[in-house]
């Protein structure tokens, strides 16, 4: 019977290590769809550089699937790229295994043809990989040519080819791996899980729709509840983060999920990414009863000038109203901001700083500039404005930073304000580690 090794190459652990969810989704789906397939998992966050090649050689898999979660750190100040690290990992795979190498993951999906060539993979899969990986493995196992498969990147006589995906998975399965679960629970104080995939929003900078598509697909409520029940009953996991690009899409589904969690009676608390609009007090109260404790708002700006430039579907009045509703219920909230992005001005920066003072108690996480990805609206508008050459290599970290953004000026404006601004260059790791040792779970930014 064929043997597949799924390897997570991500070693980026800032601000905390994140459970490699793709590995568990793939394994859960493949085990159900193809029981005869042997599947091994390898997470390089748990393996030393000396150990993992030896373990791979001993496993002797027939296929190696490598998940690339990020291409860089998305930090304008550091701009650390991961491609060279990935190249070295795949070269080491080649030295100990003759198995075909299949590339995939969120980071890979942004540059699929380029990375297949640069990293020396045999095949690549763009976007969600459950059905595609199953089809690819079964096609290769039968000795047939998989060229032309949906979502597949492959090599041909004409060069590297790619056929975009048209179909998406409707009901992926998920079971957490005990060894991985123990590690990430110990080091990050939470596990992550999806409730839906896809995002219909058209924020200028965002790559999520390129990876997961624009059509929202909700996962099965009983499956989500069963996964959380097993995590609590078997492993004592009582905090999860829903990693949907935006949780408060599909309100009818969210209400159904919340009621199912309440009925299950789990002690599990949770947080998620939310858009700061279209959230009624009644919805928030229902989610809170179902375990919601932390709202992470993808607000990005508190100035209508900038929100319009970012193509956000809300304005500051909506942000303020939603924040006030959350505060009335006592739900922890944080707002993530992109300062100095497309269309930002000194006036809009000042408005964001001043409008932040109107918000109820919160933590503000500003990031500087916008990472430019191919095929986004930001890249298109920059090319039209003559601020980006069409041939610009975007695999190497490349940012747009407004000419009116001044970091020194910004830092001078923050002291004395009532809100807590957690700047990117501040190090909270020691404090977070102490809280983890004290048994605290969840994001913990409310303690900043």
* Mean pLDDT (the chain, rounded): 95
pLDDT of 305 over the 90 cut: yes
pLDDT of residue 98: 97
pLDDT of 244 over the 90 cut: yes
Q: What is the mean pLDDT of residues 228-237?
A: 94
Q: What is the mean pLDDT of residues 227-255?
A: 96
The set of residues, in sequence order, having a beta carbon less than 8 Å from that of 158 and lying 6+ positions away, is none
pLDDT of residue 16: 80
Residue spans in the chain of domains classed CATH 3.40.50.280: 3-162
Contact 189/440 with Cβ under 8 angstroms? yes
Core vs surface per residue 221-253: b (16+ CB within 10 A) or e: bebbbebbeebbeeeebbbbbbbbbbbbbbeee
pLDDT of residue 171: 72
Residue 110 and residue 56: Cα distance in Å, rounded? 27
Residue 204 parent element (H or E) = none
pLDDT of residue 168: 78
pLDDT of residue 429: 81
Q: Any idea how long the chain is? A: 448
DSSP-derived secondary structure letter, 72: B
pLDDT of residue 169: 78
pLDDT of 282 over the 90 cut: yes
pLDDT of residue 155: 95
pLDDT of residue 435: 86
Contact 442/267 with Cβ under 8 angstroms? no
Residue 230 and residue 248: Cα distance in Å, rounded? 25
Share of the chain above pLDDT 70, in %: 100
Question: 396-409, pLDDT tens digit by residue?
Answer: 999 999 999 999 99
The pTM of this model reads 0.95
Residue 433 confidence class, pLDDT cut points 50, 70, 90: confident
Contact 2/38 with Cβ under 8 angstroms? yes
* Residue whose C-alpha is closest to residue 83's, from 64, 55, 105: 105
Residue spans in the chain of domains classed CATH 3.20.20.70: 189-447
pLDDT of residue 1: 87
pLDDT of residue 307: 98
Q: What is the mean pLDDT of residues 61-79?
A: 96
pLDDT of 300 over the 90 cut: yes
Pull the structure tokens for residue 178: 């005990």
Residue 287 confidence class, pLDDT cut points 50, 70, 90: very high
Q: What is the mean pLDDT of residues 270-292?
A: 98
pLDDT of 170 over the 80 cut: no
Among 5-19, 226-240, 297-311, the range scoring the smallest mean pLDDT is 5-19
The set of residues, in sequence order, having a beta carbon less than 8 Å from that of 415 and lying 6+ positions away, is none
Whether domain 3-162 has CATH 3.40.50.880: the reply is no
Question: 150-167, pLDDT tens digit by residue?
Answer: 999 999 989 999 999 888
Residue 62 and residue 65: Cα distance in Å, rounded? 10
Q: What is the CATH number of domain 189-447?
A: 3.20.20.70
Residue 448 confidence class, pLDDT cut points 50, 70, 90: confident
pLDDT of residue 87: 98
pLDDT of residue 140: 98
Residue 376 confidence class, pLDDT cut points 50, 70, 90: very high
DSSP-derived secondary structure letter, 245: S
Pull the structure tokens for residue 39: 């599947």
Q: What is the mean pLDDT of residues 240-261?
A: 97
Among 52-66, 151-165, 362-376, 429-443, the range scoring the smallest mean pLDDT is 429-443
pLDDT of residue 427: 84
pLDDT of 447 over the 80 cut: yes
* Alpha-carbon distance values, 168 to 20, 126, 152, 207 (Å): 20, 11, 13, 17
Maximum CA extent, the chain: 68
Residue 52 confidence class, pLDDT cut points 50, 70, 90: very high
- What SS3 class is residue 277? coil
pLDDT of residue 174: 85
């Amino acid at each position: 019977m064929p043997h597949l090794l799924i390897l997570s190459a991500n070693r980026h652990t800032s601000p905390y290590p994140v459970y490699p969810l793709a590995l568990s989704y793939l394994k859960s789906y493949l085990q159900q769809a193809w029981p005869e397939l042997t599947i091994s998992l390898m997470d390089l966050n748990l393996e030393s550089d000396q150990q993992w090649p030896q373990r791979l050689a001993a496993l002797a898999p027939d296929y190696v699937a490598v998940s690339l979660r990020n291409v860089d750190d998305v930090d304008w100040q550091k701009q650390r790229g991961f491609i060279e690290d990935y190249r070295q990992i795949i070269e080491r795979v080649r030295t100990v295994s003759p198995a075909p190498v299949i590339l995939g993951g969120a980071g890979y999906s942004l540059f699929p043809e380029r990375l297949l060539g640069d990293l020396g993979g045999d095949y690549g899969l763009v976007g969600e990989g459950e059905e595609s990986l199953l089809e690819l493995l079964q096609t290769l196992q039968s000795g047939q040519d998989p060229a032309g498969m949906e979502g597949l990147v492959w090599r041909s006589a004409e060069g590297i080819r790619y056929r975009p995906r048209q179909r998406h998975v409707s009901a992926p399965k998920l079971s957490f791996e005990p060894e991985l679960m123990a590690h990430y629970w110990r080091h990050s104080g939470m596990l992550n899980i999806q409730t839906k995939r896809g995002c219909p929003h058209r924020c200028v900078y965002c790559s999520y729709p390129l990876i997961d598509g624009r059509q929202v697909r909700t996962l099965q409520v009983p499956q989500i509840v069963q996964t959380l029940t097993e995590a609590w009953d078997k492993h004592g996991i009582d905090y999860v983060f829903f990693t949907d690009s935006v949780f408060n899409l599909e309100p009818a589904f969210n209400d159904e999920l919340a009621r199912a969690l309440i009925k299950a009676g789990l002690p599990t608390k949770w947080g998620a990414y939310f858009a700061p609009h279209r959230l009624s007090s009644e919805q928030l109260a229902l989610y809170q009863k179902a375990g919601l404790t932390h709202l992470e708002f993808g607000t990005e700006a508190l100035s209508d000038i900038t929100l319009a430039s970012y193509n956000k579907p809300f304005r500051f009045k909506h942000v303020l109203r939603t924040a006030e509703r959350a505060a009335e219920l006592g739900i922890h909230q944080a707002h993530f901001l992109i300062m100095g992005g497309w269309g930002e001005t000194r006036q809009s920066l000042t408005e964001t700083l001043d409008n932040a003072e109107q918000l109820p108690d919160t933590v503000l996480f500003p990031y500087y500039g916008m990472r430019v990805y191919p095929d986004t609206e930001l890249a298109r508008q920059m090319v039209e404005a003559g601020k980006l050459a069409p041939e610009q290599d975007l695999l190497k970290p490349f940012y747009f930073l407004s000419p009116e953004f001044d970091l020194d000026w910004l830092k001078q404006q923050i002291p004395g304000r009532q809100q807590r601004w957690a700047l990117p260059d501040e190090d909270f790791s020691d404090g977070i580690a102490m809280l983890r040792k004290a048994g605290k779970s969840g994001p913990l930014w409310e303690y900043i």
